[in-house]
């Protein structure tokens, strides 16, 4: 994990220092994903069975999880695990319920009313990864807002294990959140199946959930097809950026970096610090902590393309962070909250020494499905608005049209769209002729 002096880097070297590993070979990746999508669209379940054998190493008799498998899953968790899921679901539910808004109604002028109403998306498809590790937390983050929004059709896809079953924790979490239909399909092929539908898996209007670079590419490709499905956001391999000063504890910083690095070999972790001693101590802590953690191989692969960046000031650190736009931003500096106004681009922010990113991943209440690849410059983390369509309504009385109609006519004429103007003019002429509606 190299230590880079930001002030000594050229513009090209700075861009290279902040480049995500998953952005390399993107054209070839998209071509491969396109072939998978086309195959699923053409051959449906047959293609899914072949991809499941090839990528997951299992031959399935059926994709959909049965009632018996749901019941089996619940027996695999102990009381402590079930209670943890219940508490996490309660916190995530509470935070997301608070995001709901009432309809808006504004009387713009006498007889002119504008409104905004919310409607749940009809059919949503939730994707829960299970590559390096099964993620019941992802099931919670997706299924809770889908349930609160009232989406009528909610399905979930997750890769099968080698024994042909879905992960029991994922199934239990999904059911606790009101998901009754789960399909054992993973990867880009799962996104294609939900976007276009097969004999076994119903088509949805929008796909949600994190995943590897293949899943993210599939979501972006199907969202560009009018026959496909919209996506929540580009949410690919995990990443974290930590800003730390001399007050930070190296063991905490290292632990936070490793917590994200263990997700996958293409995860990226970055430390920006003003302290040379902290940088060196963090490297020592990384080595010590990796040796006692279970996913050491994945950690070492991920750390290979991660960075420590030395800066002269915290102001520079936050400038770099805003340019990088991390999925997770951890701020371990003195009076961390005072720096919050400087943060513009980040998926989710963790302030202070006692706020590990793990808490947001699991149970603090915020959603952990967040934009990666720098898309936090334009996208937000998953929220209730992603499961709801915002629909505007307007209603004019005859007096309202008399008052505001000439404005519309004038603008229509500016644009040379006389049919637009005519739609108002014929009504105004009728009112002038009759004196009423």
Q: Quick one: pLDDT at residue 22?
A: 60
What is the location of CATH 1.20.5.1300 in the chain? 397-434
Q: Quick one: pLDDT at residue 184?
A: 98
**What b-and-e string marks burial along 52-68, b requiring 16 or more CB atoms within 10 Å of the CB?**
beebbeeebeebebeee
What is the location of CATH 3.40.50.1980 in the chain? 3-20+237-365, 26-103+128-233
In angstroms, the CA 227 to CA 205 distance is: 9
Q: Quick one: pLDDT at residue 24?
A: 59
- HSE-CB at 308 with a 13 A cutoff on CA atoms is 23
**Phi and psi dihedrals of 159, rounded to 5?**
-65, 145
Asked if 270 and 309 touch (Cβ cutoff 8 Å), the reply is yes
The CATH number for 26-103+128-233, chosen from 3.40.50.1980, 3.40.50.1820, 3.40.50.410, 3.40.50.1700, is 3.40.50.1980
Asked if 67 and 170 touch (Cβ cutoff 8 Å), the reply is no
Q: Quick one: pLDDT at residue 201?
A: 98
User: In whole angstroms, how far apart are CA 187 and each of 159, 336, 425?
Assistant: 7, 38, 55
Evaluate the CA torsion angle 427, 429, 432, 435 in order and state its sign: negative
In angstroms, the CA 95 to CA 112 distance is: 35
Catalytic residue among 327, 357, 368, 395: 327
Q: Quick one: pLDDT at residue 358?
A: 96
| Predicted confidence pLDDT, tens digits, the chain (437 residues) | 889 999 999 999 999 999 887 655 678 889 999 999 999 999 999 999 999 999 999 999 999 999 999 999 999 999 999 999 999 999 999 999 999 999 999 999 999 999 999 999 999 999 999 866 789 999 999 999 999 999 999 999 999 999 999 999 999 999 999 999 999 999 999 999 999 999 999 999 999 998 888 998 999 999 999 999 999 998 778 899 999 999 999 999 999 999 999 988 888 999 999 999 999 999 999 999 999 998 899 999 998 888 999 999 999 999 999 999 999 999 999 999 999 999 999 999 999 999 999 999 999 999 999 999 899 999 999 999 999 999 999 999 999 999 999 999 999 999 999 999 999 999 999 999 997 65
Q: Choose among 135, 131, 132, 138: nearest CA to 159.
A: 131
Evaluate the CA torsion angle 398, 402, 408, 413 in order and state its sign: positive
Query: Is domain 3-20+237-365 annotated with CATH 1.10.3720.10?
Result: no
**What is the full DSSP assignment across 280-310?**
HHHHHHHHHHHTTSTTHHHHHHHHTT-EEEE
CATH code linked to domain 397-434: 1.20.5.1300
Q: Quick one: pLDDT at residue 437?
A: 59
Catalytic residue among 263, 305, 328, 368: 328
Q: Three-class SS of residue 235?
A: coil
Q: Quick one: pLDDT at residue 241?
A: 97
Q: Quick one: pLDDT at residue 3?
A: 93
**What is the full DSSP assignment across 118-151?**
EEE-SEEEEE---SSS--HHHHHHHHHHHHHHT-
Note if 327 is an active site residue. yes
């Amino acid at each position: 994990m190299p230590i880079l002096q930001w002030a000594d880097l050229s513009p090209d070297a700075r861009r290279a220092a902040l480049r995500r590993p998953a952005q390399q070979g993107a054209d070839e990746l998209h071509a491969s994903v396109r072939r998978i999508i086309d195959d699923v669209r053409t051959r449906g379940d047959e293609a899914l069975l072949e991809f499941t054998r090839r990528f997951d190493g299992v031959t399935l008799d059926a994709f959909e999880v049965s009632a018996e498998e749901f019941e089996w899953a619940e027996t695999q968790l102990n009381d402590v695990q079930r209670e943890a899921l219940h508490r996490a679901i309660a916190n995530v539910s509470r935070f997301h319920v608070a995001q709901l808004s009432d309809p808006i109604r504004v009387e713009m002028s006498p007889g002119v009313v504008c409104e905004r109403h919310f409607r749940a998306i009809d059919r949503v498809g939730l994707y829960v990864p299970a590559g390096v590790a099964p993620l019941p937390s992802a099931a919670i983050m997706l299924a809770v807002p889908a349930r609160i929004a009232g989406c009528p059709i909610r399905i979930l896809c997750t890769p099968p294990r080698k024994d042909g079953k879905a992960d029991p924790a994922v199934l239990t979490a999904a059911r606790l959140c009101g998901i009754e239909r789960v399909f054992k399909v993973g990867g880009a092929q799962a996104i294609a199946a939900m976007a276009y539908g097969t004999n076994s898996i119903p088509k949805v209007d929008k796909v949600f959930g994190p995943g590897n670079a293949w899943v993210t590419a599939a979501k972006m490709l199907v969202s560009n097809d009018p026959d496909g499905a919209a996506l929540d956001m580009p949410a690919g391999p995990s990443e974290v950026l930590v800003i730390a000063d001399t007050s930070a504890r190296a063991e905490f910083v290292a632990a936070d970096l490793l917590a994200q690095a263990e997700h996958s070999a293409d995860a990226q972790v970055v430390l920006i610090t003003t302290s040379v001693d902290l940088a060196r101590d963090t490297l020592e802590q990384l080595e010590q902590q990796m040796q006692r953690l279970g996913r050491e191989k994945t950690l070492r692969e991920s750390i290979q393309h991660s960075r420590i960046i030395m800066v002269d000031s915290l102001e520079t650190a936050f400038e770099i962070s805003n340019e990088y736009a991390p999925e997770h931003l951890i701020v371990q500096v003195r009076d961390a909250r005072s720096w919050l106004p400087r943060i513009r681009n980040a998926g989710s922010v963790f302030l202070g020494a006692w706020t590990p990113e793990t808490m947001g991943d699991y149970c603090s209440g915020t959603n952990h499905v967040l934009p990666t690849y720098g898309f936090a410059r334009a996208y937000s983390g998953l929220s209730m608005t992603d499961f709801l369509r915002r629909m505007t309504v307007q209603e004019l009385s005859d007096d309202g049209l008399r008052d505001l109609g000439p404005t519309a006519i004038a603008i229509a004429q500016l644009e040379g769209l006389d049919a637009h103007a005519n739609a108002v003019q014929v009504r105004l002429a009728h009112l002038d002729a009759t004196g009423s509606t």
